[in-house]
Chains A and B, each alone.
Chain A
Amino acid sequence: MGHPIENLIAGVPSLGSYASVLAEIEAVLDNPQSTLTDVGEVIEKDPDLTARLLKLGNSSFYGFPCRVETVSETISLIGIQQVQDLITVSTVVEIFEGISADLVNMKSFWQHSLACGVAARQLALSRRMPKPEKLFVLGLLHDIGRLVLYAQDPEKSRFVFKAYPLSSESLRETEREVLGFDHTEIGECLLRAWNYPANLVAGVRYHHHPLSAGAFQLEASITHVADHLVNAMQWGSSGQRVVPTLHDKAWERLNLPPDVLESVVTAMDDQLAAVEKAFLPAKGGTG
Chain B
Amino acid sequence: MPKIKTESLRENMVAATDVKNMDDMLLIPAGTRLTEKHINILLTWGIEEVVVEAGDQVNEPVDPLRTIPPEMLQRITADVRKRFRSLDDSSPVQQEILRLAILRRVMMTLAHGTSH
Contact = CB atoms under 8 A, between A and B. Distances in A.
B is a partner of A:
yes
Interface of A: 60, 63, 65-67, 168, 170, 228-229, 232-234, 241-246, 248, 251, 258-259, 261-263, 265-266, 270
Interface of B: 11-12, 26-29, 32-33, 35, 38, 41, 83-86, 88, 91-98, 100-101, 104
A233 B32 CA distance: 24
Contacts of A170: 85
A263 B26 CA distance: 26
Contact of A65 (B28, B88, B98, B100): B28
Contacts of B93: 246, 248, 251, 258, 261
Instruction: Enumerate the 8 nearest inter-chain pairs by beta-carbon distance, A residue then B residue, closest first.
Output: A258-B96, A232-B101, A242-B85, A258-B93, A243-B84, A251-B93, A245-B86, A258-B92
A168 B85 contact: yes
Question: Quick one: which of B11, B88, B93, B96 has the most chain A CB within 10 A?
Answer: B93
Contacts of B85: 168, 170, 242-245
A228 B101 CA distance: 11
A232 B104 CA distance: 10
B100 A233 contact: yes
Contacts of B32: 60, 63
Contacts of A270: 33
A66 B100 contact: no
B104 A233 contact: yes
Given A229-B97, A229-B100, 4 more contacts: A228-B97, A242-B84, A245-B86, A263-B11
A251 B88 CA distance: 13
B96 A261 contact: yes
A199 to B, nearest CB: 23
A241 B100 CA distance: 19
Contact of B29 (A65, A228, A251): A65
Nearest to A250: B93
A269 to B, nearest CB: 9
B7 to A, nearest CB: 20
A182 B30 CA distance: 47
Contact of B94 (A60, A66, A248): A248
A79 to B, nearest CB: 18
A168 B82 CA distance: 9
A275 B93 CA distance: 27
Given A242-B83, A245-B86, A60 B100 contact: no
Contacts of B98: 232
B41 A261 contact: no
Contact of B35 (A63, A67, A168): A63
B33 A232 contact: no
